[in-house]
Structure 1
Amino acid sequence: MREPEDLYALTAAAADVPQGLPLVAGLTGFADAGGAVQQLADYFAATVDLVPVAVFDADELLDYRARRPIIAFEQDHLTSYTPSKLVLSQGRDEIGRPFLLLTGYEPDFQWERFTRAVLGLMDRFGVADVTWVHSIPMPVPHTRPIQVTVGGNRPELIEAMSVWRPSTRVPSNVLHLLEFRLAEQGRAVAEFVLLVPHYLADTELPAAAVKTLEVVSAATGLLFPTDQLKEQSRDFLARVDEQVAANDELGQLVRALEQRHDTYMEGNPLRSPLTDDEGEVPSADELAAELEKFLAIRRQSDDEA
């Protein structure tokens, strides 16, 4: 019988992983409305110094014919081959706090064995809690903030942030299985489902990336700068507004979605505890400044005691 740990290889960096870190996860595969999960992975790859801790075996888990790796051809010869990767890494947030990150392809095969492998890695590193994200298309307008459905077993997040709580049956993600197993064991897990405008689901929507980072911060306390993404989102949505304004049919659709959204939200006056009175999330610099102020007050209190 093949053991779960045979699905991955630990790197030398695994010996230096601190105990009790939060784990953030997002895997690309079945659906990724607005490119939320892919943008999350790209953001971390570009802004965080990620150190691989465990690398999973693609030959065991991936259907290459369904998701073919990319190979580059230059005039008369092949120049590079980019294999698909599924990696558990360690990174640090804006103020240096470490966390674990699971990103890459969603396994096509051996879901139960893969889940046992991840649970084993969590035991090895004493993972404190798991936060994972994905996104689905919904009949909501781009002119309103992206909302979320929250699953898992962290009621404080569900009560504060979940605006839509359906009872339904849906095709699953492998991280649904991981969440189910974690809940069976009574371990802390939070699932965030971004509700992305259906007519923008096939685009790379910067607002989805911003929201993904916001919910990760809400669940973990980790801080990540989003100012650049917010600027990209404003530019992107301005271009969408121009297209809507030039098309009466699109304009009618958006107005109908706005009316339905606003009517629904009147009965769901939820606001994330991270937002201010205008509904804006403070930047990482602002949050870091508040944290430093808090720590300074604590140090002063300790000195006076």
Structure 2
Amino acid sequence: MTTETKPLAGRVVLVAGATRGAGRAIAVRLGAAGATVYVTGRTTRDRISEVGRATETIEETAELVTAAGGEGVAVPTDHLEPDQVRALVERIDRERGRLDVLVNDVWGGEHLIGSSFGKKTWEIALADGLRMLELGVKTHLVTSHAALPLLTRHPGGLVVEVTDGTTAYNGGRYRENLFYDLAKNAPIRMAFGLAEELADSGGTAVSVSPGWLRSEQMLAAFGVTEENWRDATKQLPDFAVSESPVYVGRAVAALAADPDRARWNGRSLDSGQLAREYGFTDADGSRPDAWGFMLAKETDPDTRVEDYR
């Protein structure tokens, strides 16, 4: 094991919300870089969360981390329950004595958004709207509150707030409905605020967004798999700019391994931007820039997907 092939060897990471999608891919790529990765979520082999997908579990994520070359540790955790999160952090402290990277990827609200997009605030069931804020905002705050004292014990810690959208994109447009807009903009602001608070410990906080993510749930919605995902472009041609979860996983791993990552402190980043900076590609060798494509298409409807892959 060398620092060249395993740049995160000896580092301890918590990926909160690693059952599937971006969180799972981030955990696996951090493991491939040599890290010990604690992975959390609510779906286990014995219990299914409200997301309703039994096919992805945190145990499986931990096994994938280990298979990739790291050490995966699965800890069932509901990040809305402060006692559970504190117990998680106490376990990491007891077993490892440090925390180097915190990835706040908790969400699990997809089942709430399909019927609410495009609706006014008062047309959405209040319980559903507030649940989005609990899942996408409160979970991140509970986790940071519990984990940051351990992370700041050693200088140079990294916090990654995973969200949907960037400052450049979200800042100029309304994201679907008020609850969703708040849930996905809040992590960007959290990273900005935490950048200030981590400065005296030499820490870095950023928000990172994948582009149009081919998560397990997204693929299922189109009735395709990762192997034949391009068939979905027959339904929606712009889906051709989508990216696999591997892409954002590589983005966060590259960021975590960068000794000069403090230059990004407080910034809103995305997988396509970080791919250009660090030179990695998606699993198929392409380099999608979904947010760049979507911004360009707003002013030029003839924008070609091919120019953004």
What TM-score does the superposition give when structure 1 sets the normalisation length? 0.38
Query: Higher relative contact order at CA 8 Å, sep ≥6: structure 1 or structure 2?
Result: 1
Q: Which has the larger radius of gyration?
A: 1
Structure with the higher strand share, 1 or 2: 1
TM-score by length of 2: 0.38
